[in-house]
Amino acid sequence: MGTLAVDNIQHTDGSSAVTLNNATITTGTATLTGGTIASAVTFPAGHVIQCISKSDGTMVANTTNGDDVSLISHVITGVLATSKVFISITGFIGSSNMNGGMQLLRDGTSLLEQTVNSRTGFYIEDDTSLASLHSMQSFVWSHLDDNPTTGTNTYLLATKATTTFYWNRCENNANSRAYSTITLMEVAQ
């Protein structure tokens, strides 16, 4: 393989198009330095700017009525002020008689709410039984947050008004465990 060494790339009219200097690339509209993208970079709508993910095996067992218990969270710092954030969550629920729901929060503010039989959240189960006290059911959910705050956003999945709830484990066997995953993608508008 050969190596191409240049200091400048020019337009056909002789004007400078790109200047290369170690880790810095400078064009007429933006500078890329050490992997940081300046806000002047234009991405097409729908383009994924960054994708981060976190897996967590923390188990939650038998919450009580009125508790809002944290299940999994992750932080994303947006590159562009106009971006949206796509949230994808996969987890496991275990309970023979789950009563309650879950809520998704961005920086402490609930993003989606509904009420069913006095239970509140975006995901609600009321007297749903699993096959046994030793089973878990998968939970997969996604949402596009089209109005995140500029800068850093913390997304948190938590229980909401739950009486009996198990996360990442079944009800009757703490040795039956699972991992939940939260993935955050910054998407250009």
| Residues in CB range of 13: below 8 A, 6 or more apart | none
CATH code for the domain of 104: 2.60.120.1340
Dihedral sign for Cα atoms in the order 158, 91, 121, 80: positive
Are 118 and 168 in a shared domain? Answer: yes
| Ranges of H-type helices in 83-139 | none
pTM for the predicted model, two decimal places: 0.73
Same domain, 31 and 102: no
75: nearest Cα among 48, 34, 107: 107
Report helix, strand or coil for 112. coil
Same structural domain for residues 121 and 33? no
Instruction: Give residue 140's domain range.
Output: 48-187
Q: Is residue 73 part of a domain?
A: yes
Supply 153's token pair.
């956003």
Percent of the chain with pLDDT over 70: 68
The tally of domains found in the chain comes to: 2
Tell me the pLDDT tens digit for each residue of 85-125: 999 999 998 876 666 778 899 998 888 776 666 556 666 66
**Residue partners of 63: CB distance under 8 A and separation at least 6:** 69, 100, 159, 162, 163, 164, 165
